[in-house]
Chain A
Amino acid sequence: MLESMRRGSSTCVFREMPVIVSAAAVCGPKEGKGPLGPGFDLIYKDTLAGENSWEKAESRMARQAVEIALAKASLSNNDVDFLFAGDLLNQITASGFMGRELNIPFLGIYGACSTMIEGMGLAAALVAGGFARRAVAAASSHHDTAERQYRYPTEFGYQRAPTSQWTVTGAGAAVLANEGSGPRIESFTAGRIQDYGIIDPNDMGSAMAPAFVDTLCRHLEDMSRGPQDYDLVLSGDLGRIGSTVARHLLKEKGIDLTGVHEDSGLLVYEMTPEICSGASGCGCIATVFAAKVWKELSAGKLKRVLLIATGALHSPTTCQQNESIPSVAHAVSVLGV
């Protein structure tokens, strides 16, 4: 019988840790001007990225993130056994349309803003299990495609709620391999869906905070660790409000994140009033990881990082029907070089 790679109630710990040999991030103009600007591999001057629709622009950014990541590792599409990708559009079309151009076995996934980490966890499992030599995880989002799907037409003049978040226009991709050098994925904790009765789609941080707390606690328990065992606990897009709520909930459980926690939603933009509670979207942690964290792990500046991406699993229809917002959070721990 195969020796199990499970530890505790819900964490996979990989015996042969998959190596993240490469990562790349592509973004739009607003993100390019943000604090992460220099870390991006490609910055578009406008949100259409040379296409004639925002949907195509998002798909293009996703494809380019994958292509650039492969080029950086001197790999071609044929070297990749699986591509995990997802986005926020209905039927994850940005990813499907990207897959059409790439000719890599494609597995579309949806975890809302947790998609990137879900993809990295699944890709790591396939690589660590010997089912793939190389696998790519990618995720994308686009401010304008998200606005028109979830909220109002982009030119409609209304005041954004202070609890709302700004969807990142950008895509990130990570290439995982069973050999090579780079940061290594140590473990993967898949999240359980949490729903604490938040019905306001403009307050996703609050809706997602309990999912973050649940996954973090289970991961720490399974690994017999505390937050201080990590150089960085990076959440997906809790934003300002979600982060505060999450830290409060954790403090009640006796877990103190002071000094180790950062939220991707607070790293992408200068926090002007327009950004409200922070950045969000599948592209949020995907770009922060590829443009910043992966580089710091590769340079040895970070030794052990826990990435926990949260996703709000609602749709405009469920919100109009007054359903509360179920949320999920997936965690992956990564070891630096």
Chain B
Amino acid sequence: MAKATVREAEAYNMLVKGFHPPRQVARNFIKAYMVGGSICVVGQIILDYLVAKGVPFVQASSMTSSTMVFLGALLTGLGIYDEIGRFAGMGSALPITGFANSIVSPAMEFKREGFVLGVSARMFQIAGPVLVYGALSSIIVSILKVFVF
């Protein structure tokens, strides 16, 4: 049978699953924790440094975020962040540096397709959904705040 029936397909998917390598959950957790934690420590050091220099906390935290975005973009440009991501998984994808990576990497990738249809059109290929659903959920939460709480 060229196209398997639903039952055959289910049986085959079950069979194949048995041959997949086990997911290294514990190892991945530890790697993600170590790398993600290190990124946060760097952020904390920058924040503490700025506060110690007398920058007001609100401004210092925005400056920290900007600095971390810059570092993420820089490491992406140097071709290092993808290596970190391959190792750390969510540990480097979740912090704001990962967000920078998700925007800078397509921008770099599609430079050859031009600045309009390449860089700018593709820049939010990965980050786009995060922005859309981030904005959407913030609106929902705001509405809830106004009417419910």
Contact = CB atoms under 8 A, between A and B. Distances in A.
Contact of B16 (A153, A162, A198): A198
Contact of A156 (B13, B16, B101): B101
A76 to B, nearest CB: 33
Among A152, A156, A196, A245, the most chain B Cβ lie within 10 Å of the Cβ of: A156
B112 A52 contact: yes
B93 A158 contact: yes
A157 B101 contact: yes
A158 B98 CA distance: 9
Contacts of A148: 109
A175 B2 CA distance: 33
Interface stretch (B49-57, B63-71, B79-87, B136-144): B79-87
Contacts of A193: 2
Interface residues of B, number: 43
A156 B106 contact: yes
Interface in B94-108: 98, 101-102, 104-106, 108
Q: DSSP class of B's interface residues: helix, strand, loop or mixed? A: helix
Contact of A241 (B3, B20, B28, B109): B20
Nearest to B109: A153
Interface string A201-240: 0010010011000000000000000000000000000000
Contacts of A194: 2-4
Contacts of B28: 159
A224 B117 CA distance: 56
A163 B21 contact: yes
Contacts of A292: none
Among B3, B16, B81, B92, the most chain A Cβ lie within 10 Å of the Cβ of: B16
Nearest to A210: B12
B92 A157 contact: yes
B12 A154 contact: no
B3 A195 contact: yes
Contact of B82 (A154, A196, A197): A154
